């Protein structure tokens, strides 16, 4: 009888040992598994924001500008003008900003035959515009934005014959004047560095010299510099 009881005790002790070993192994496996997600999360690379995070408070653009506009009175004659464009934007959030822009374009236009033998006089226009800017697509590498700018333009049409005493309207040109102008369109930025980008701007840019609107178009390409941080 004593021998039988001893054997039962040995069996129970052995069972308890096996149970404790199994429980210990299970606990170690659970503990190791619970640390796996944390380690993966800690070592996973963050999203790329090394090019642009769009938290800049200001940006400034400068570059080459092109404008095509109706330069004569009563004729469907278009003038190709080239020059430069400068604009600056103050951003109140990564999406909404206020833009000030100036475009300065120079070139020549063809005019009808005249007694003064003036054929391709030089003309120029100088725009100053203000309005909202909206970023509707933001990516670390590029962004798209739209704007609606209002303001004015000063057109100079008598550069080549000012001293001859000839009025521009005699040649079917507009007289020198300050006129209404607007620009509505968008811009595409390709981010090169966190503070630098290349920008393309395309606009419908009507003016109002004389008594009618000129359905003009404009485009610019240049460099953008960004600085400052939006306060939160």
DSSP assignment of 173-188, as one string? BPPSEEEEEEEEEEEE
Q: Which of 42-51, 56-65, 106-115 has the lowest mean pLDDT?
A: 42-51
Burial class (CB in 10 A: 0-12, 13-18, 19+), 59: buried
pLDDT-based confidence at residue 212 (cuts at 50, 70, 90): confident
SS3 21: helix
Among residues of the chain, what percentage have pLDDT more than 70?
A: 75
Longest dimension (CA), the chain: 142
Q: What is the pLDDT of residues 25-34, one digit of tens each?
A: 544 444 444 4
Q: DSSP character for 170?
A: G
Question: What is the rounded distance in angstroms from the CA atom of residue 215 to the CA atom of residue 220?
Answer: 17
Structure tokens at 8: 């039962």
Q: Is the pLDDT of residue 190 over 90?
A: yes
CATH topology of domain 58-227: Porin (2.40.160)
- For the ranges 13-22, 172-181, 188-197, 201-210, the lowest mean pLDDT is seen at 13-22
Per-residue pLDDT for 44 more than 70?
no
């Amino acid at each position: 009888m004593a021998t039988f009881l001893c054997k039962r005790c040995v069996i129970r002790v052995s069972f308890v040992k096996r149970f404790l070993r199994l429980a210990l192994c299970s606990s170690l496996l659970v503990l190791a598994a619970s640390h796996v997600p944390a380690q993966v999360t800690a070592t996973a690379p963050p999203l790329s924001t090394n090019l642009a995070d769009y938290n800049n408070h200001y940006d400034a653009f400068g570059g080459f500008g092109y404008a095509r506009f109706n330069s004569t009175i009563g004729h469907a004659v278009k003038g190709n003008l080239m020059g430069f464009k400068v604009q600056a934007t103050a951003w109140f959030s990564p999406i909404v900003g206020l833009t000030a822009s100036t475009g300065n374009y120079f070139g020549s236009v063809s005019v009808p035959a005249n007694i003064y033998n003036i054929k391709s006089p030089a003309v120029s226009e100088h725009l100053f515009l203000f309005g909202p800017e909206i970023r509707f697509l933001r990516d670390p590498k590029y962004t798209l934005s739209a704007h609606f700018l209002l303001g004015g333009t000063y057109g100079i049409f008598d550069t080549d014959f000012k001293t001859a005493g000839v009025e521009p309207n005699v040649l079917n040109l507009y007289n020198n004047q300050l006129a209404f102008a607007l620009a509505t369109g968008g811009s595409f930025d390709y981010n090169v560095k966190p503070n630098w980008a290349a920008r393309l701007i395309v606009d419908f840019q009507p003016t109002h010299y004389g008594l009618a609107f000129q359905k003009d178009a404009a485009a610019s390409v240049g460099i953008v510099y960004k600085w400052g941080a939006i306060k939160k």
